[in-house]
Amino acid sequence: MADQSSVLSPERRASDLAKLANRQFDVLVVGGGVTGAGVALDAATRGLSVALVEAQDWAAGTSSCSSKLVHGGLRYLQMLDFHLVHEALRERSLLLGSLAPHLVRPVPILYPLRQPFVERAYVGAGVALYDALAFSTGAGLGRHGPARRGPARRGGLPWHRHLSKRGALELAPGLRRDALVGAVVYYDCQVDDARFVVELVRTAASYGAVALTRAPVVGFLHEGGRVAGVSVRDSETGRNFPVRAKVTVSATGPWTEDTEALAGHARAVTVRPSKGVHVLVPRNRLDAGCGLILRTKKSVLFVLPWRDSHWIIGTTDTDWPYSKGRPLATSADVGYILSELNSVLERPLGTDDVEGVYAGLRPLVAGKGVVRGPGEGRRASPAMDGGAGTATSGGVGETGKAGAQETTKISREHAVGRPAPGLVVISGGKYTTYRVMAADAVNAAVAEAGLHALECRTASVPLLGARGFQAVVDSRDALARESGIPPETMEHLLGRYGSLVTEVLDSIKETPSLSAPLEGGHGYLRAEVAHAVSHEGARHLDDVLSRRARLAIESPDRGTRCAREAGEIMAGLLGWDNTALDAELDAYERDAELWARAAREAHDDAEAACMAEGAPPLSVP
């Protein structure tokens, strides 16, 4: 039986709408990416009343467009940022060991060495320090074999190991023999970033948080010289209504400056958006038994396994001074990524091998912010190497460039500011340390409003799907038999829902036809579409195909082949008529074509921005 307090159903949305308009909250969070969701969970577990509003969908911005890594940031050791790497490794340990073992899983990564002796000693020392910092978090490391699945891992990962040239080629036969003289293999972790955010929101809801998507902020409320809340528009009806709170926390990532401007107060945090692009190619196009990390002239390139079907390859790191609503990948971005990877491959990849592409904006902190509360005056953590940071989809206004420094050299730290009484702003950072960022923001909010709250508790609050995960794993064969679904499908569901898999199985029990996979849906079940609507707050076709499932990046047609089937399931749950369903399909198919055309035809970001500017909105009111 599902915990009904966490279920983000259509009925729950109507109830939360009423609560938003008729209550004053202790903390109001604007922005539903990983940072905003983390702030909502942190505040709710401290005993505060919390509201969370998001302009689009959970993780609709950068928090669904990262490199899907949970890591310490190996390359930051070269910058001597030992504290920052240690902090991220501690968070990695918590996520892997207890907070989200069903979503966060180990991934081995091979670092090819180009030069003998000196480079091996240099890289080996760096990776040894990385492992030592991880060990010092208290997680411990295993010396042999991959980390075990489930909570019994206790956050531990195998030690790194050195490989000869022969050993490296046995592990990654797809590499050119002249591209390496040996290698080092180390471990980090991977996560489905969008699914993680959905579970964060549901966990916050289980602690009493009111959470609403399709609710952009259109203004701020002021009373007695303080920010007293915001004015929100319900995109479903077009109705505006006030949401009152003792303190408002803006977690809008690349939209941070726009949020501050909308509030009418001086800028506390300066953010410079940087575009990160990733491509997906079929697994059989690169013969390797692990991920890769390659040094480039600008930064690093990751090649990471994704599900059983693809490699994720990226990223780029370039200024994006254009509209933040829809950053697009260009043919130059795709060409750069393939060129860097092809420099080490025996069998080069071409554009015809690219089956998926996505882009997001990192909210790089270009100006100084202030962190208040415990750790007064310190800056926090770097943003994800090769990832797209921790931005939310936000949804207000535009911003310009901040200076001429290369984005690869801008700090990945986060900053918390208090630009006006009653308003706290957080931006920057990296996905892995969202919990630290959230704690800093809530500490500042508590101080700003003089609230009585518990200390941060989230280090010991597992996400919903992690609770009872091992028991479900142990009974997976029995669950598969009872549900009549194949064991491999059960493994797929466990890796996406953890112990919440019973919710999906209950829906199959009630409606057996939902056990069938979507036609052309790469193994996703019809039940997962229904569950996205009934339990996870999905309101539009894009919410399901882009974020609840990942067909928009995993399928060459961006999921359009199964769009009608998914739409018909959603229509029955959301009350769409044929006209509404056709509008959803048209919007999704236009957007899929836009992404494909930009990656194929746009020569630079200016051309891509023009294409995006002329495109209609993706979501249908």
Q: Which residues contact 504 (CB under 8 A, 6 or more apart)?
A: 493, 497, 525, 527, 528, 531
User: For the domain with range 4-64+195-271+366-460, which CATH number is right: 3.40.47.10, 3.50.50.60, 1.10.10.10, 3.40.50.970?
Assistant: 3.50.50.60
Q: Which residues contact 295 (CB under 8 A, 6 or more apart)?
A: 301
Class of domain 85-191+274-362: alpha beta
pLDDT for 138 equals: 66
pLDDT for 442 equals: 98
pLDDT for 303 equals: 98
Residue 107 has what DSSP assignment? E
Asked if 514 contacts 566 with a C-beta cutoff of 8 angstroms, the reply is no
Cα 343 vs. chain centroid, distance in angstroms? 29
Asked if 333 contacts 378 with a C-beta cutoff of 8 angstroms, the reply is no
Asked if 330 contacts 603 with a C-beta cutoff of 8 angstroms, the reply is yes
Question: Does pTM top 0.75 for this prediction?
Answer: yes
pLDDT for 190 equals: 98
Q: Which residues contact 612 (CB under 8 A, 6 or more apart)?
A: 322, 323, 325, 326, 327, 328, 594, 598
The DSSP string of 132-199 is: HHHHTTT--EESSSPPPSSGGGTT-EEPPEEEEHHHHHHH-TTB-GGG-SEEEEEEEEE--HHHHHHH
Instruction: Phi first, then psi: give them for residue 618, nearest 5 degrees.
Output: -75, -45
> Residue 493 corresponds to which tokens in the numbers above?
């569901």
**What distance in Å separates the CA atoms of residue 442 and residue 412, rounded to the nearest whole number?**
20
Q: Which residues contact 498 (CB under 8 A, 6 or more apart)?
A: 100, 101, 102, 103, 463, 464, 465, 466, 469, 472
Sign of CA dihedral 307, 313, 318, 324: negative
Q: How many CB atoms lie within 10 A of CB 119?
A: 16
Asked, colleague to colleague, whether 4-64+195-271+366-460 and 85-191+274-362 share their fold, the answer is no
> In which residue ranges of the chain is pLDDT below 50?
1, 140-154, 368-404, 407-410
pLDDT for 148 equals: 40
pLDDT tens-digit map of 493-547: 999 999 999 999 999 999 999 999 999 999 999 999 999 999 999 999 999 999 9
pLDDT for 620 equals: 56
Residue 216 has what DSSP assignment? -
Domain extent listing, the chain: 4-64+195-271+366-460, 85-191+274-362, 511-613
